[in-house]
Amino acid sequence: MTSSTRDFSSIGVIGLGTMGAGIAEVFARNGYQVVGVEQTEESLERGRAHVEHSTGRAVKRGKLSEEAQAELVGRIAFTTDMADVKDCGLVVEAVVEKLHVKQQIFRALDEIVSVDAVLATNTSSLSVTEIGTATSHPGRVIGVHFFNPAPVQNLVEIIRTVVTEPQVLEDAAELARSLQKTPVVVGDKAGFIANALLFGYLNHAASMFEGHYATREDLDAAMRFGCGYPMGPLALLDLIGLDTAFEILDTMYKQGRDRLHAPAPILKQMVTAGLLGRKSGRGFYTYE
C-alpha cells in the first residue's frame, strides 16, 4: 500500500456528548487541531465542561501540568456551526445512535468538506454503508469506533464497507496508531467485533436485575471479583448510557432477530423515565 498524502492535521468532531468530548480530547492530547461541533450553546458548554473535567482529573493526578491542560483545551475550537469543519481532513461524527440523524449530518458534511476529506462515524451498531449512501463519495466513508472512556480505552475498530477505498482504511489505521491506540479492521455488521460479543452479556445482566434474580451490587460484584472485569455490567451500562445501549441492542436485534439482543424491557422503561445512567445522574445507580 502506498503511503498517503492526506492531511489529518485538523480534525472535526460532530457531537460532544459522552463519546465526542472524549474523542476531541484524544486528538487534542496528541497535538491535532480539533473543531468540535454541537447543536446548541448549552450542549456546547456541556461538551467543553466534559473535556475540562476529564483533563482536570489528569492534572489532579499529576499526569498533566496546568499549562499542558490549557494548551490541550486551546487546540479545540468549540462551535455550533458545522461549516467550521470545512478545512478538516477528517471528520468524526459522534451524535445519537439514530440512522436518520447521522445520514442528515453526512449529507451536510458532504457539501462542506473537500472531496479528499475522510468522513467517519463513531456508530456502535448502525450500518456504515447506509450512512455512506447519504454522501456523493461513499468510498471515503468509514467507521472509526472509539471505546468509552475514549481517553482510556486503547482500541479503535475501523469499519470498512464494500466500497471503502483501501487507502482510506490504511490512513485511518495509521491515524489511530498516532493516537497510541490499537486499530482493528472489521466489516460492516451490527456490533462489529466488541459490541457483538459484549451486548448480549449486558442485556442478560439487565434481565437478571429485572427478574430480581440478584441485587445490582451482587450482579456487578460477581463479574468484577469472580471474573476480573474492571466494572460490573450494570455499572458499565450506566457508563455507556442507557439510551445509547437501548439503541445498540435494538439495532442488533433487528439485524439478527436473536433473543440475546432483544432489549430487556427495563432498559426502555428507564430511558422513558429519564434514567440514562451517568450522564443524567441516575441509572442503575445514582451519581453526584
Residues annotated as catalytic are 124, 145, 157, 195
Of 1, 9, 31, 39, which lies in the binding site for ligand NAD, with binding defined by CB under 6 A?
Answer: 39
> Which option in ligand CAA, ligand NAD, none does residue 16 bind, with CB closer than 5 to 8 A by kind?
ligand NAD
> Which option in ligand NAD, ligand CAA, none does residue 61 bind, with CB closer than 5 to 8 A by kind?
ligand CAA
Please check whether residue 209 is in contact with residue 284, taking contact to mean a CB–CB distance below 8 angstroms.
yes
Nearer to ligand CAA among residue 86 and residue 189 (C-beta): 189
Scan residues 2-31 and list those touching ligand NAD (CB under 6 A): 14-20
Cβ-proximal residue to ligand NAD, closest one: 17
Is residue 153 a contact point for ligand NAD (CB under 6 A)? no
The residue ranges of DSSP E strands in the chain, in sequence order, are: 10-14, 33-37, 76-79, 90-93, 118-121, 141-146, 155-160, 182-187
Nearer to ligand CAA among residue 24 and residue 82 (C-beta): 24
Q: How far is the CB of 279 from ligand NAD (least distance, A)?
A: 6
Q: How many helices (H) and strands (E) does the chain have?
A: 11, 8
Is residue 156 a contact point for ligand NAD (CB under 6 A)? no
User: Which residue reads 458534511 in cell numbers?
Assistant: 109
Contacts of 31 (CB under 8 A, 6+ apart): 75
Is residue 283 a contact point for ligand NAD (CB under 6 A)? no
Q: How far is the CB of 193 from ligand NAD (least distance, A)?
A: 13
Report which residue type is found at 3.
Answer: S
**DSSP label at 263?**
-
Query: How far is it between the farthest Cα atoms of the chain?
Result: 57
Q: How far is the CB of 151 from ligand CAA (least distance, A)?
A: 4
20 CB burial (10 A radius; 0-12, 13-18, 19+): buried
Alpha carbon separation from 179 to 146, 155, 182, 269 (Å, rounded):
11, 10, 9, 38
Is residue 251 a contact point for ligand NAD (CB under 6 A)? no
Cβ-proximal residue to ligand CAA, closest one: 124
Nearer to ligand CAA among residue 138 and residue 233 (C-beta): 233
Q: How far is the CB of 70 from ligand CAA (least distance, A)?
A: 18
Contact positions vs ligand CAA (CB under 6 A): 54, 57, 61, 63, 124, 147-149, 151-153, 195, 198, 230-231, 236, 240
Is residue 105 a contact point for ligand NAD (CB under 6 A)? yes
Element (H, E) at 267: helix 265-272
Please check whether residue 24 is in contact with residue 90, taking contact to mean a CB–CB distance below 8 angstroms.
no
| DSSP code string of 166-231 | HHHHHHHHHHHHHTT-EEEEEES-TTTTHHHHHHHHHHHHHHHHHTTSS-HHHHHHIIIIIT--SS
The size of the interface with ligand NAD (CB under 6 A), counted in residues, is 28
Nearer to ligand CAA among residue 57 and residue 177 (C-beta): 57
Q: How far is the CB of 55 from ligand CAA (least distance, A)?
A: 8
Going by C-alpha positions, the residue among 156, 148, 151 that lies closest to residue 57 is 151
Report which residue type is found at 39.
Answer: Q
Q: Which residues bind ligand NAD (CB under 6 A)?
A: 14-20, 37-39, 43, 94-97, 101, 105, 122-124, 146-148, 240-241, 244, 248, 279
